[in-house]
Structure 1
Amino acid sequence: MADLIKEIHPRQITQRLYGVMARLAKTAANMSWDSGMQQMAQRYYVLALQAGRVADDRGVR
């Protein structure tokens, strides 16, 4: 995922990549929270929010 985001893409593809990253980060945050790793979960939630903004994905925000 990180390698794909570093490359230059048309805006729509970049937004979709960030949308996928946001959803993956949100899933990782939920899993971390459920495992009792609240600090890690917080980091993933922040990443999900940041990626969701770039993706203009209101479902993640």
Structure 2
Amino acid sequence: MRKYPNPKNLTTEEILKSRRPFHIDDLVALALEREDVLLASHCLEELKQCDDVKESVVDLKNMIFG
């Protein structure tokens, strides 16, 4: 059973306004899939608060900053 809700069917605006706890890996994958800079920026902010950061940060930075 899935512990976190799936954000795939939501718009970026709905995700950012939601109080539901989405898993950061799901959000990163979705930002990369959609090439969504706003969602990617949100993910970076969330990841800055984590001690355990994965390679996905590099992918997000490359997408945002070229």
What band does the TM-score fall into relative to the shorter chain? Answer: 0.3 to 0.5
TM-score normalized by structure 2? 0.34
Structure number with higher relative contact order (C-alpha < 8 Å, ≥ 6 residues apart): 1
TM-score normalized by structure 1? 0.36
- The structure having more radius of gyration, on CA atoms, is 1
